[in-house]
Structures are given as C-alpha cells and as structure tokens.
Structure 1
Amino acid sequence: MMIDTQPFVGQHCETTTVGTLLGQLGIHLSEPMLFGLGEGLAYTIWKMKTMDFPFLGGRIKPDLITENIATNLGLLLTVKETTSQAKAWRMVKELLDAGHVVGLKLDCYHLEYFSQPTHFAGHYVAIRGYDDHQAFLVDTQQQGTTVVTSLESLALARNEKGPMSSRNRYFTLAIDPEHPQPMTRETLAETVTTAIRKNAATYLNPPIKNLCYKGIEKTSREILRWYDTSNNVQEEFATTAMLMERAGTGGALFRNMYRDFLQEAHQLTGAENIKAAHNAFVNIAHDWSQVIALFEQVGATGDRTYVEQASELLKSLAKQEQAAMQLLL
C-alpha cells in the first residue's frame, strides 16, 4: 500500500521528514522556514577519546527541531520508542494502514539505497507505504527523495544502537482539534518572531564552551591542536569539509538555510532587526564557505597555513554570529 501524499524535497533529513508529514496536513512551508521554526541554528564542537577527530555541527540536537516546529505551529506531536522490533513495525504498519505518514529515526548505515553507507543513528526518513518486502520512504534530495529499502534493512536501521540513536523511534504530527491554529500570514509572522527570539536566547546563553559562538571560538584554537596531533591530517580535514558543506546541511553548516529563513521572516514581519540580521548572515554564510574551502585545501595539500587562516576566520565568525543573534534577541 502507498499513501497518496506529496514527498517534501529537502536537503536536511529532519526537515525533509517533518515537511513530508506537514504536507499531509495541508501545511506547506519552505525548508529554510522549517529550520527557522525549529529554532535550529546552533554550533557544536564534540570530541571524545574514541573519535579520531572532532565533530563540528551547526544545528541543535536531533529531535529538537521536530519538537520545536510542533510547539511553534500548535500541532500534536506523538513520539514512541520501543526495544521490540516486532512491536516497532506493527505500530508503524497500523498507522500507515490508517492513512498516516510516519516519521522514523534510524541508522542510515543499513538503508540499501545509500551508496556510501556509514553509521549515523541520527538520520530521519518518512515512511509512506510498504508491500510484502519493501518500505517506501522519503529521504533527502541527495539520496533520491522517493526511495525504497527492504523491510529487513529498515528493521535493522531502526533498531541500531550507538551515539544519537533512539531505538525504533517513530512519530506523527496532527492538527490539535481542541486548539486549531489557522495558518494566516499574520499568525505565521507572530510564530516566526517567537521562534527567532527563542533561538537567539538559546544561542547566546550556551551552558558550556563547546556550544554556539563560544564553541566557534574554541574551534579556532582546537583546529590547530587537531592538525598538530592528527595521524591523518588530509583525510580528516577533507572529511570534515564534506560533512560541513554537503551532508544535509544546506551548505555552509546550515548558515545558508538560516540566512534564507531570515529573508522570508523579514518579508513576513517587516522587522528591521531581522533585515539587519539577514544581511549579517549573508556575510556569515560566505565566511563559513571560506572556512570549508580552507579545510578542503588542508585535505588537498596538508599545509598548516590553511589551518591558521581558518582559525582566524573562525575567531571572526564567533563575533559575527554573536552580534547577529543579539540583533534577533
């Protein structure tokens, strides 16, 4: 069976999944708008002893974008997890049979359409149908948007353990029948303003120095140490550049996406502070692209000079982002 719904075409897995679920509810918003309503902008530098090199992330924790979108749009979000693979599939199958598209969180390593599988348990897809052997999914544009994988591989992906995993997590979105919120230009403008302020407040008050503008500043120092201690400088910096630019971030570590959200937000609200912040993020996104290009040069040449240049640019970016988010607060 296949639910007749329009797949969302997106670059980031969580917003693509949420966009597909929202489409079934008759709510059609751009991916930058979803990212902004999800209060998604952040920054993380994360390094554990078991990791060869640091992870640099540009968004808030997995699951939070979905939760924030549901809260800001006044929707009912239902989330379930279970350790039972049989129960996990039975519950999703019942929802599909009832005509509901379902969001899944899983480890993309097991999905058969991934050409270069790697373990990442924070991946999202929407499931919109199945037959006796296969599941019909919606994934990012990079993966093909409408894709198919076997039911066996889907079960493995959903039940995987590891960092960021939520075993067999699935979720649905619904209109709240007791408090429906009609989507008008005025109500969306109010919702956007609220989301912007909350995102800015969170960004400007990081609980630890690994996060947000403080994390960017820390990264400016850590990449020099990383270069000096790495056993495989070129591969590690090249891989990081690829993850920052092309692994579902919308480019420039989600800054392109937030820049475009602010442009839409200004068109909705007419707020001058949002316009000024948008202009700031035009430069911020450009500078992040430059950092990524410098990482690519390290990957190509192994030359420390490019790391030093990236370090200086990151110091500037920390200040730029702090100032831009202060405008939005």
Structure 2
Amino acid sequence: MSTEYQHASGDHCGSASLRNLADYYEWGFDEASCFGLGAGIGFSYSEAGPASRMIMGRSAHLETAFFENLGIPVVQKDDQPKQTAWAALESHLESGPVMCFVDLFYLPYFGSDTHFGPHTVVVIDIEGDAVTISDSEFPEPQTVSRATFDDAWSSDHGFWPLERRWLAVENPAPTVATDTATLAAVELAAGTMLDGEGGLGSGGVAGIRAFADDLPAWTRFDDVQWTARFAYQNIERRGTGGGAFRRLHADFLDTLGTDAGLDAEVSERMRRIADDWTVLGEVLRAVSETDDAAERTDRLAEASDLASDLADREEALFAELASVV
C-alpha cells in the first residue's frame, strides 16, 4: 500500500527522508522513530572534513539499518558507471521514490561553500533535464539539472564515499514486528556506542573520549576557530535535531522504546545527555567567536571536561541498555 508522495521538512536529512518514505508507504513512523529504528546514534572523531578535526554524532548505517531491522527488502547500489546508475535510478522511480546520497555543496539551493556529505535526499521525479528532490532541509521539493545532481551524487567529498549511491524499496511490507525491530535497533545502537564502528575514525564512546582528550590541544590549529565552529554546527545545527542527535534518540526511546518495554528513565537520561551536548556546543561556539587566545584555551579546557563527563554517562547508559535487550 502506498499513497502519493508528500514532501515534508524535518530535523535530520536521513531520518526525515525515512519519515517521508514511511508516510508514502503508510508505515506510521514519525522522524524520531525512524532515527531510532535505524540505530542512528553514533559518534566519530577524525581528521577528515573541511576543518582540522571533525565530529559526527550519527552512525553510518542509519538508512540501511532501518530497513534491515524492520525486515523491509531494499535494493541499493553504489560505484556504478554513470550511465548504469542513472538508468537504475530512472527505472526504480517508475515504482516509487528513491533515496540518494549527495554532497550539498553542489546543490545551488543551499548556497553553501562547504562540502558536506552524504546528505540524504529522496528523488521523486525525473523529467527531461529536471531532477525533482525531496530535501528535508526545505519546505518544498527542489529541482536541479541532471548535471548538477550528478555532481552532487558523485562527489569525491564526504564523510564516507558517495559514489552515486542509491537505495530503493523492493517490497514495502515490513516482516518484523515494531517491538522486535525496536529492541534490535537498541541493541545495535548500544553495540555501536560501546564497541565503535569501522570506517569513521575513532568510534562510539571511545571516540568521545578521544575528542575530549584532544580538545585542549586544538589551540595548535591555524583554523582553531573554524574547527570549533564546525564542531558546534555538527552538534546543534546541520540537521542533528539538537544535542548531537541525542535528542532524536531520546524521543525514540520515550515512544517506541517504552512501548517495547524499556524503562522510561532511560529516555529521560538520554534527554539530559542531549541537553548537555547542547551546553558543550555553546562552549565551542564561544571558542569560534573569540579572538582572545587565553579565553580560547580556557574554553577548550571547559569543553574537554564536559565531553569527558558525557563519555562516562553515555558508556553507563548504553551498557545498561545492552544488558536488557
């Protein structure tokens, strides 16, 4: 069963795109539920990106894990020759919308001078040279040329390779009960945070600790203000839903998690953690806005203490979750 595709904006590109597909296929999930069902929470700290150091608060597997946990068959490809990828995209559009992963730098409606990808969008139509995109950052669908979309779709810049990656639903009927999928997602998220995730630099709680330990030494970077600003943006802006994606995860735990039998206190603890990520983000924003070297040093030390405390609290919370699912 499907309805006419209805575009809607949201907090995060990946979870909002999944929410829009959930509406289209009538699965009945809000955005936070989609984020949680995809075990979207994560953490990485690496040298990749447009600044000397980059943090990211979500996992790489959000979009695929959502479908795996619910038992929804999909087909996905990347690194196909250009003509093959475009033919596959157009073919799958005949039966439904297709999720694609792009670098927003090349999308003119963003007007961004910073490479940032993968940014998750849903392609809903191709007519002639026009590609119509459901981009959750905007209230209405956007249209770009084929050449422009291909530049974004095949960009060499990204936290992980883009390579004209696409994902399409094969059979929209979930084969796993929501409670079962919820507990599987909670288990995967706990494992990601406690054990890390390959391919994204330092991962999980260990990544938060590496970030905390390194923060005081950010004064050595020529772009220390931009590095701090970009970190702040990746905590509070750039589609995180606030609190380094922790607020989305708290909402998921409060709804589907509680429905699946998890203690309501878990979501409350996650929400307090999200609030303190917001506090940390504000400290980093202050670092980015001051020209006083001594103040930057003090603020980075403060940020380090906050991040270290968050690492301890997240380790305790995810260890508890791992023990009950």
- Are 1:167 and 2:156 matched, yes or no? no
User: Counterparts of 1:79 and 1:55 in 2: how far apart (Å)?
Assistant: 28
- Are 1:241 and 2:232 matched, yes or no? yes
In 2, are the aligned partners of 1:107 and 1:165 still within 8 Å (CA)?
no
Change in Cα spacing, 1:277 to 1:124, as seen in structure 2 (3 Å) is: same
Over residues 146-200 of structure 1, what are the superposed CA-to-partner deviations in whole Å (9 max), with x where a residue is unaligned? 21212220122222224422322211013367xx537xxxx31222122112221
In 2, are the aligned partners of 1:277 and 1:327 still within 8 Å (CA)?
no
Three-state SS of the structure 1 residue aligned to 2:245 is helix
**What is the aligned counterpart of 1:324 among 289, 307, 317?**
317
Which structure 2 residues correspond to residues 76-115 of structure 1 after superposition, within 5 A? 76-96=73-93, 98-115=94-111
Over residues 88-132 of structure 1, what are the superposed CA-to-partner deviations in whole Å (9 max), with x where a residue is unaligned? 222212222x23111111222211211224223412210111222
- Are 1:60 and 2:59 matched, yes or no? yes
Three-state SS of the structure 2 residue aligned to 1:136 is strand
User: Counterparts of 1:51 and 1:121 in 2: how far apart (Å)?
Assistant: 11
In 2, are the aligned partners of 1:21 and 1:172 still within 8 Å (CA)?
no
Change in Cα spacing, 1:35 to 1:145, as seen in structure 2 (3 Å) is: farther
User: Counterparts of 2:155 and 2:290 in 1: how far apart (Å)?
Assistant: 37
Three-state SS of the structure 2 residue aligned to 1:175 is coil
Partner of 1:206: 196
Partner of 1:42: 42
In 2, are the aligned partners of 1:127 and 1:135 still within 8 Å (CA)?
yes
Deviation at 1:82, TM superposition (A): 4.3
User: Counterparts of 2:208 and 2:229 in 1: how far apart (Å)?
Assistant: 19
Deviation at 1:266, TM superposition (A): 4.1
Partner of 2:285: 296
Partner of 1:260: 251
Partner of 2:151: 156
In 2, are the aligned partners of 1:240 and 1:295 still within 8 Å (CA)?
yes
User: Which residue identity lines up with residue 298 of structure 1 in the other structure?
Assistant: V
Change in Cα spacing, 1:159 to 1:233, as seen in structure 2 (3 Å) is: closer
Q: TM-score, normalised by structure 2?
A: 0.89
In 2, are the aligned partners of 1:263 and 1:278 still within 8 Å (CA)?
yes
Change in Cα spacing, 1:20 to 1:218, as seen in structure 2 (3 Å) is: same
User: Counterparts of 1:259 and 1:147 in 2: how far apart (Å)?
Assistant: 31
Which structure 2 residues correspond to residues 107-146 of structure 1 after superposition, within 5 A? 107-140=103-136, 142-146=137-141
Three-state SS of the structure 1 residue aligned to 2:185 is helix
Change in Cα spacing, 1:207 to 1:246, as seen in structure 2 (3 Å) is: closer
Change in Cα spacing, 1:297 to 1:130, as seen in structure 2 (3 Å) is: same
Deviation at 1:87, TM superposition (A): 2.6
User: Counterparts of 2:285 and 2:38 in 1: how far apart (Å)?
Assistant: 30
Over residues 175-231 of structure 1, what are the superposed CA-to-partner deviations in whole Å (9 max), with x where a residue is unaligned? 367xx537xxxx31222122112221232123789221121112111011112x021
Give unmatched runs, 5+ long, in structure 1. none
In 2, are the aligned partners of 1:113 and 1:143 still within 8 Å (CA)?
no
Partner of 2:221: 230
Say what the alpha-carbon RMSD is for the aligned residues: 2.2
Q: TM-score, normalised by structure 1?
A: 0.88
User: Counterparts of 1:65 and 1:51 in 2: how far apart (Å)?
Assistant: 23
Partner of 1:251: 242
User: Which residue identity lines up with residue 80 of structure 1 in the other structure?
Assistant: K
Three-state SS of the structure 2 residue aligned to 1:128 is strand
Deviation at 1:51, TM superposition (A): 6.2
- Are 1:181 and 2:171 matched, yes or no? no
User: Counterparts of 1:234 and 1:151 in 2: how far apart (Å)?
Assistant: 36
Percent of residue pairs identical: 22
Give unmatched runs, 5+ long, in structure 2. none
User: Counterparts of 2:135 and 2:44 in 1: how far apart (Å)?
Assistant: 24
Three-state SS of the structure 1 residue aligned to 2:36 is helix
In 1, are the aligned partners of 2:57 and 2:234 still within 8 Å (CA)?
no
Which structure 2 residues correspond to residues 19-38 of structure 1 after superposition, within 5 A? 19-38=19-38
Three-state SS of the structure 2 residue aligned to 1:75 is coil
User: Which residue identity lines up with residue 306 of structure 2 in the other structure?
Assistant: L
- Number of residue pairs matched? 313
Three-state SS of the structure 2 residue aligned to 1:105 is strand
In 1, are the aligned partners of 2:196 and 2:204 still within 8 Å (CA)?
yes
